[in-house]
Structure 1
Amino acid sequence: MTESDPERTAVLSGCPMHADPTPIHDHTFAADPDAVYAELREQGPLASVELAPGVPATLVLDHETALSVLRDPETFPKDSRAWQREAPADSPVVAMMMYRDNVLFQDGPAHARLRQAITDSLSRVDSVTLRRYVTESAESLIRDFGPNGKADLLTEYARVLPLLVLNRLFGSPAELTTRMVEAMTALWDGFDTERANRELVQCIAELIALRRQHPAFDITSWLLAHEADLDDEEMVQQLVVFMGAGAEPVQNLITNALRLWLSDDRFAGDLSGGRLPVEDAIDEVLWKQPPLANYAITFPTRDVELAGRLLPADQPVVIGIAAANTDPALQATRRDGNRAHLAWSAGPHTCPARGTARLIASVAIETILDTLPDMDLAVPDHELEWRPGPFHRALTALPVHFPPVQETDSRDETPGESGRWSDRPAHTSWIPPDTTSTPKRAGSVTKAPRRALNYLGEWLLGR
């Protein structure tokens, strides 16, 4: 703000947006985000928050304002490069917000081209085969811990199951999947993010090289063959967002839903009697405990007035997905069965894989509820701990106990191997020749040293 901007000065004068920003990255926020949202609503539809030390942002708190932002990419674009030039280079959130040449950070024709390649590839995944593969994988995991009579459903079930599915969907070898997941978890938690980002890119580059040489019936191969003609750099960045969206959020959706059902009599009672569909229970989680609580970040390129506030150019505008979903004004008119929540975002950037994510989560939940109907939390609900961080809503563990289940069959070597994805070609004719990229020479990447496999890798490899 300058002295030559008296109108802008007047708008900002006395504005609570310019009080000290409220941290949404610490343990206080993680322990009770609803209380923080209630306090922030005193500022109005928008609030000044801190995503990490030294990283201010504007959080959108109500549903109507959130939709106006998500549906206006011209005013609220996704390109973060101007912000990134001024952001603290060592900030733990930079890796999650830095510009990448993928569908998440593009708008307009560039976004449409990349999104079409993704939706065409996803359309080739056969839902019947996917459901069978998820069911068999879930049953195999349950056989591992069933005889123990106890388990951590986060680390032994909800975290592993989506990764087994990703392994199959993207044609990734087991050791490569394990390395990618370790890197993605570090990025979400803001731990050693520079190294984690390098490792993730390296792993995906290896997967792309493998599938260029040996194409198969998987999303990686279909993206490579798509008429959008993605080059190696574009391929890497599309798979970064694909893997990131397919691992952490789905893991948290499964975990948060299981925690709700084990702690809330409304769900536990109905589900044990088979009266409440799992899909309806998943929606309850997506409304109130969405896996991505604050995201869908945009970066206005100029000062923008929104809901009576003047937002500074290039500063992040973050959609408070959980806050908007629980907006008191919206709750007063919401009816049961309404799926107008923002857990999948809205507008041009609505999640293209939401159907796949719902299927994985619902099958995972149905399978374990059917197999372990007498499962209970091993600790009181209020003793469960939540991981700090500005973006996700994620538990650190979900310990349960149940009557031991006798192990019967040995684990299948490759769950669902008999099924195949659709082999029909994905064809679109909307891309004009002048907007289609030409292959670029991929930059050299130093191969990271191989590390010892964790539990997931050992499971995948049958060790």
Structure 2
Amino acid sequence: MTTPESARTGGCPVHTGDGSAVSLSGPRFHTEPHQLYREMRREHGPVVPVELPGNIPAWLIVGYHEMHQVTSDPELFPRDVGLWNQWPNIPADWPLLPMIQPPQPSIYFTAGADHRRHADMVVPALESVDPFELRHVCEELSDRLIDAFCGRGEADLVTEFAKPLPVLALARVLGYSDEDGTTLARALGELVDGGEGAQRAHAEYLALNQKLVKAKRNEPADDVTSWMLAQEGFTEEEVALNVKDVLGAGFVTTADWIGNSIRLMLTDDRFAAALGGGRHSIGQAMNEVLWEDTPTQILAGRGAARDTLLAGRQIRAGDLLMLGLAAANADPLIQQQFSPSRGGNSAHFSFSHGEYRCPLPAQEIAEIVARTAIEVLLDRLPDVDLAVPAQTLVRRPSTFLRGMTAIPVRFTPIRPTGDPQ
């Protein structure tokens, strides 16, 4: 049996007897992930032994039915990384610590009753967002961003549009001032890029978050943060952490949903009609992206509460299971039944599934932001086209998140919205 190019041989206590484990890193995860997942599925089955950075063992679920089984059983597979049996081997500077964190009091880093307690605050707060007002905000922000480059006849739709728009929209929803929202967009952009300024940007992000919560405690308004603060039994720290989670989880994924959808529409002839203002094709492209090019490729994770079997694999108590959302979406056993070409079928795992899935109102907010952004862009720049060959477009070098580093385009220059004709 051959192993994928990204695999390396090595034993570990978790994977004893499995022969080899796939390294959960390497360029193939962002250059040819579907081929890599096919190889994993063929050679290892629906539950794959993997190694995280530092030779840390885990499991990656690539089967659709196994994904459904794990995400539907929060008792056996809770989202409680505190159970992880590898914590004694994790150094303080481990690169995945931002994604696989010890439990903290917020909706995304708690399990069981603690998770439900935070969800009972966060979900109604997100439900309080008026979808019509949000769409109006997104139209206004989209116009503002497009005005900054529309007269040039060229732009990078990632850095100048897809990346800042979700931050600005979510900042408005959470109650940030427009000035702080602009600062937040810059800081989060630097943080995601992971360059020399990432640590400073992270500190700036946390400071803005704390400033927001204190300001809304003193002067509540009609926003999500004020709604959370009005609920009894939650500290300012808990509210701040939940605000941070809402923004952190929604920013990159929505930006990549916008970017990946724009890339699809500019490179696939099936969606050419949308470039002339056809709205139906926009929804189709966005749904296809969730199936075939989902922003969150791999999600961490689930801990096994006790010894169990999963697809014939011996899973030990405390083992970490990584959710291969993109791989499960591409499972050939399910693709024939839920083909993305059959309209708006939403049986994908792009928002995960079960008790710990992305909350439904958060999904709705992300869809409004992404769809409105693309509609405004194509309405205002109907002849937008790639400025480089499609095959030269580059993906972000990430195993876990899938997005474009840049989408250079050209178009007929137009006047900003506020300019006289």
Task: Give the match for residue 29 of structure 2.
Answer: 29
For residues 21-42 of structure 1, what are the alpha-carbon distances to aligned partners after superposition, in whole Å with 9 as ceiling and x for unaligned? 3233x33321111121111112
Evaluate the alpha carbon distance shift between residue 231 and residue 256 of structure 1 in structure 2; reply closer, same or farther with a 3 A threshold.
same
Evaluate the alpha carbon distance shift between residue 186 and residue 293 of structure 1 in structure 2; reply closer, same or farther with a 3 A threshold.
farther
Task: Give the match for residue 107 of structure 1.
Answer: 111
Evaluate the alpha carbon distance shift between residue 344 and residue 222 of structure 1 in structure 2; reply closer, same or farther with a 3 A threshold.
same
For residues 89-168 of structure 1, the aligned pairs below 5 Å read 89-99=92-102, 100-168=104-172
Task: Give the match for residue 374 of structure 1.
Answer: 383
Greater mean alpha carbon deviation, residues 185-194 or residues 98-107: 185-194
| Counterpart selection for 1:347 from 348, 354, 361 | 354
Using the alignment, how far apart are the partners of 2:213 and 2:37 within structure 1? 42
Evaluate the alpha carbon distance shift between residue 179 and residue 217 of structure 1 in structure 2; reply closer, same or farther with a 3 A threshold.
same
Secondary structure of 2:29's aligned partner = helix
| Counterpart selection for 1:362 from 347, 359, 371 | 371
Deviation at 1:65, TM superposition (A): 0.5
Deviation at 1:268, TM superposition (A): 2.0
Question: What TM-score do you get using the length of structure 1 for normalisation?
Answer: 0.80
Deviation at 1:137, TM superposition (A): 1.2
Residues 1:258 and 2:262 aligned together: yes
Deviation at 1:14, TM superposition (A): 4.0
Using the alignment, how far apart are the partners of 1:247 and 1:74 within structure 2? 30
Using the alignment, how far apart are the partners of 1:46 and 1:245 within structure 2? 26
Greater mean alpha carbon deviation, residues 284-293 or residues 398-407: 398-407
Using the alignment, how far apart are the partners of 1:138 and 1:259 within structure 2? 18
Greater mean alpha carbon deviation, residues 240-249 or residues 105-114: 105-114
Maintained 8 Å contact 1:92/1:190: no
Task: Give the match for residue 216 of structure 1.
Answer: 221
Identical columns (%): 38
Task: Give the match for residue 415 of structure 1.
Answer: none
Greater mean alpha carbon deviation, residues 74-83 or residues 151-160: 74-83
- Residue identity in the other structure for 1:288: E
Using the alignment, how far apart are the partners of 1:209 and 1:166 within structure 2? 18
Using the alignment, how far apart are the partners of 2:181 and 2:16 within structure 1? 51
Using the alignment, how far apart are the partners of 1:194 and 1:65 within structure 2? 37
Evaluate the alpha carbon distance shift between residue 148 and residue 189 of structure 1 in structure 2; reply closer, same or farther with a 3 A threshold.
closer
Maintained 8 Å contact 1:58/1:318: yes
- Residue identity in the other structure for 2:55: G
Using the alignment, how far apart are the partners of 1:300 and 1:180 within structure 2? 37
Question: What TM-score do you get using the length of structure 2 for normalisation?
Answer: 0.88
Evaluate the alpha carbon distance shift between residue 302 and residue 184 of structure 1 in structure 2; reply closer, same or farther with a 3 A threshold.
farther
Task: Give the match for residue 272 of structure 1.
Answer: 276
Greater mean alpha carbon deviation, residues 366-375 or residues 180-189: 180-189
Evaluate the alpha carbon distance shift between residue 406 and residue 196 of structure 1 in structure 2; reply closer, same or farther with a 3 A threshold.
closer
For residues 304-341 of structure 1, what are the alpha-carbon distances to aligned partners after superposition, in whole Å with 9 as ceiling and x for unaligned? 32111112433321111111111111011115121101
Using the alignment, how far apart are the partners of 1:307 and 1:39 within structure 2? 17
Root-mean-square deviation (CA, aligned residues, Å) is 2.5
Using the alignment, how far apart are the partners of 1:395 and 1:77 within structure 2? 32
Task: Give the match for residue 88 of structure 1.
Answer: 91
Maintained 8 Å contact 2:170/2:247: yes
Task: Give the match for residue 230 of structure 2.
Answer: 225
Evaluate the alpha carbon distance shift between residue 212 and residue 174 of structure 1 in structure 2; reply closer, same or farther with a 3 A threshold.
same
- Residue identity in the other structure for 1:123: E
Task: Give the match for residue 74 of structure 1.
Answer: 75
Maintained 8 Å contact 2:79/2:302: yes
Using the alignment, how far apart are the partners of 2:274 and 2:147 within structure 1? 25
Secondary structure of 2:150's aligned partner = helix
Evaluate the alpha carbon distance shift between residue 179 and residue 137 of structure 1 in structure 2; reply closer, same or farther with a 3 A threshold.
closer
Maintained 8 Å contact 1:102/1:234: yes
| Counterpart selection for 2:207 from 199, 202, 209 | 202
Using the alignment, how far apart are the partners of 1:178 and 1:86 within structure 2? 39
Evaluate the alpha carbon distance shift between residue 383 and residue 285 of structure 1 in structure 2; reply closer, same or farther with a 3 A threshold.
same
Aligned length: 399
Deviation at 1:87, TM superposition (A): 1.8
Structure 1's unaligned 5+ residue stretches are 1-8, 412-463
Evaluate the alpha carbon distance shift between residue 106 and residue 404 of structure 1 in structure 2; reply closer, same or farther with a 3 A threshold.
same
Using the alignment, how far apart are the partners of 1:135 and 1:88 within structure 2? 45
Deviation at 1:69, TM superposition (A): 0.6
Deviation at 1:121, TM superposition (A): 1.0
Maintained 8 Å contact 2:166/2:254: yes
Maintained 8 Å contact 2:31/2:395: yes
| Counterpart selection for 2:397 from 388, 391, 394 | 388
Maintained 8 Å contact 1:12/1:309: no
Deviation at 1:396, TM superposition (A): 0.8
Evaluate the alpha carbon distance shift between residue 174 and residue 53 of structure 1 in structure 2; reply closer, same or farther with a 3 A threshold.
farther
Maintained 8 Å contact 1:96/1:187: no
Secondary structure of 1:21's aligned partner = strand
Using the alignment, how far apart are the partners of 1:182 and 1:270 within structure 2? 30
Deviation at 1:184, TM superposition (A): 4.4
